[in-house]
Amino acid sequence: MTVTDRFLNYVSFDTQSDENSGQTPSTAKQMLLAQALKAECEAMGLTEISLDDNAYLMATLPATTDEPLPVIGFIAHLDTSPDTSGANVKPRIISNYDGKDILLNAENKIMLSPAVFPELLNHIGEDLIVTDGTTLLGADDKAGIAEIMTAVKYLLDHPEIKHGKVRIAFNPDEEIGMGAAKFDVKQFGCDWAYTIDGGEVGELEYENFNAASAKVKITGLNVHPGYAKNKMLNANLIAMQFAAMLPPQERPEHTAGYEGFFHLTGISGTVDAAELSYIVRDHDAGAFNRRLQQLQDITDYLNTRYPNVIRLEIKQQYRNMREMVEPCKHIVERAEKAMQQADITPLVRPIRGGTDGAQLSFKGLPCPNIFAGGLNFHGRYEFIPVQSMEKATQVIINIIRK
């Protein structure tokens, strides 16, 4: 079975997670894929296979040498983004892509065009797996699962390749920030690991944002507008004031690289009550803390103008894994070498986001992130080149081999 065969099978499972569930896994359908993967691990002949009630699946590729080698892990997540439906995915392969527009859906006139997505032009001549324009594809992160499983099967079929013990794990709920929450690092038992959850070929990441979410809750005072003078406090207008006091140039649409941001993700309100939802991101810990203080300072200022009407709630989400990975930089260098052996130029750059590896690194499992090959994640324009999945599979094999 090829990596493409596996991928096309896995995307037939709807595994969309739900941030409002409060359960693990957040959706029961993630367990269906975990159970299928467990059966596949058993059929392949892997050992130490375990699947817990929270849909965390782990298995072992036994060592082929008695030498004392490190135990290396590979991790991918089961769920797809809540942003776009993952039900009834209809993938299609565009063979030998010619660089032109791709009609995804004639009925709805949905087009995947290099005029909008110029990264398509980097894959002329390759075989692209696309959606039908009504769902996401699920390359994030079913491509990672397929690549890990294909690499492991290859090594099972080639016992002459010497390697140490390898552990693999597939977890739920990465897309809602809970993938590492119930991940048992001790049970996994690895010296270090890699998440296979990046994008374009060559991506290798061991820096990510420090991250928090913030809710600004505003209590207004509603009075009949005909008699509101010196009485009404319009929560909507106070919310607008709050948003306007944050620097407009520090929004996601104006930032790149190491630049952080405030991102307004939701707004709702009436005269009586309004709420702003933000995510706050910065690679630098000091700058990140200053951003959180800025939110508090705006809250304090407006509460002097409108006494005690604003309540700020901040929730820490994850931290920059760099401080945990840099002391063992050899694991990054090993991945770089594995890419070079596959004729790939490593693209080492910071993640403008986060991965399960960030949280796992702070739980004692250093865990950089490696490309899975997909692009335009979380939406109907998602695609992945077959050749990128094959490259990722080769990189995993190269990392594992002695």
Measured between alpha carbons, how far is residue 316 from residues 34, 153, 180, 291 in Å? 29, 39, 14, 13
Give CA–CA dist 10/13, Å, rounded: 6
Of 124, 303, 338, 157, the closest CA to residue 218 belongs to: 303
Of 99, 58, 317, 119, the closest CA to residue 213 belongs to: 317
Buried b (16+ CB within 10 A) or exposed e, 163-197: bbbbbbbbbbbbbbbbbbebbebeebebbbbbbbb
Is residue 66 annotated as a catalytic residue, yes or no? Answer: no
Is residue 79 annotated as a catalytic residue, yes or no? Answer: yes
> What SS3 state is found at 268?
strand
Among 40, 79, 132, 175, the active-site one is 79
Among 132, 140, 141, 174, the active-site one is 174
At residue 297, φ and ψ (nearest 5 deg) are: -65, -40
Give CA–CA dist 309/346, Å, rounded: 51
Measured between alpha carbons, how far is residue 185 from residues 25, 364, 365, 370 in Å? 18, 7, 7, 19
123: exposed, middle or buried (C-beta count within 10 Å: 0-12, 13-18, 19+)?
buried
Give CA–CA dist 202/29, Å, rounded: 32
Strand pairing report for 166-171 and 72-77: parallel
Give CA–CA dist 247/261, Å, rounded: 9
At residue 152, φ and ψ (nearest 5 deg) are: -65, -40
Tokens read off for 249: 């140039």
Give CA–CA dist 350/203, Å, rounded: 10
**DSSP per-residue string spanning 46-59:** -EEEEE-TT--EEE
Beta carbons of 382 and 137 less than 8 angstroms apart: yes
As beta bridge partners, residue 76 has 170
Active site residues: 79, 174
